[in-house]
Amino acid sequence: MKILVAVKRVVDYNVKVRVKSDNTDVETAHVKMSMNPFDEIAVEEAVRLKEAGLATEIVVISCGSTACQETLRTAMAMGADRGILVETDALLQPLAVAKILKALVDQEKPQLIMLGKQAIDDDCGQTGQMLAALTDLSQATFASKITLSDGKAQVTREVDEGLETIAITLPAIITVDLRLNEPRYVTLPNIMKAKKKQIDITTPLALGIDITPRLTTLKVTEPPKRSAGIMVPDITTLIDKLKNEAKVI
């Protein structure tokens, strides 16, 4: 069974994101970049499925600039077998990425396609669902447990009320949530081994995909600064302020 995993290069989750001075986007120049944390979880799960003898090949895909090769190498150091870079310096929105992934699903014919539930830079949470619509494949989103057997995936999903377990038929698309697993650290020997693994490079144009953005970002702004808190002398004053000033109780 072949598994495809989509891995996005994003601003590292430890970086305090700053808005560009012209309010057009967030600053990404000279900022540490890493694999989207949810995509690391997706790669980890794919590697565990391969280690359990349930998968034979893991192909990782990243769409973006040449630097996304680093992200693919990290995924390969975790255990993925080969990578595909869909290279472009153009802005990619979820629909464009979903169309690219659809073209690669048609080429590679995987049984399972895994994505993060959302990319921590744009917070869209759309690509997996759009890919399911474009490919007409079954989907399970926000997975916190995945069990494969008899051409089916049993997926436990994190929903507002708790957990929901569903069964879907493979081939299928699964987007993964935080509690699915804890990704392994990559070791130096595996980083060295990953350097020898294959990365095929293509472009949206070569795949025949129109990546023209459909949405226009009007403005990006910092969240409002929190005003300083005050100390109250006792509970009675606190309750009085909550009732009469903040009017929240």
Conformation bin of residue 201: beta by default, left when phi > 0, alpha when psi is -120 to 50: beta
Return the structure tokens found at 211: 């990546």
Amino acid at 177: D
- By the rule CB under 6 A, 8 interacts with ligand AMP: yes
- By the rule CB under 6 A, 94 interacts with ligand AMP: yes
User: Site for ligand AMP (CB under 6 A): how many residues?
Assistant: 23
Contact code string over 112-151 relative to ligand AMP, x by CB under 6 A: ---xx-xx--x-xxxxx-----------------------
The DSSP line for 90-111 is S---HHHHHHHHHHHHHHH--S
In the complex with ligand AMP, the residue whose CB is nearer, 38 or 77, is 38
- What number of residues does the chain have? 249
In the complex with ligand AMP, the residue whose CB is nearer, 63 or 105, is 63
Which residue from 3, 6, 77, 95 is in contact with ligand AMP, where contact means CB under 6 A?
Answer: 6
Query: Where in 42-81 is the site for ligand AMP (CB under 6 A)?
Result: 61-64
Q: Is the peptide bond before 171 cis (omega within 30 degrees of 0)?
A: yes
Q: Choose among 58, 48, 183: nearest CA to 113.
A: 58
Residue with tokens 């989907």: 139
In the complex with ligand AMP, the residue whose CB is nearer, 19 or 124, is 124
- The answer to whether 8 and 115 have CB atoms below 8 angstroms apart is no
Point out the residue whose Cβ comes nearest to ligand AMP. 116
Helix (H) or strand (E) holding 112: strand 112-116
Name the segment binding ligand AMP (CB under 6 A); options: 35-43, 141-149, 195-203, 226-234: 35-43
In the complex with ligand AMP, the residue whose CB is nearer, 12 or 241, is 12
Q: Please give the residue ranges that form the binding site for ligand AMP (CB under 6 A).
A: 6-8, 36, 38-39, 61-64, 92, 94, 97, 115-116, 118-119, 122, 124-128
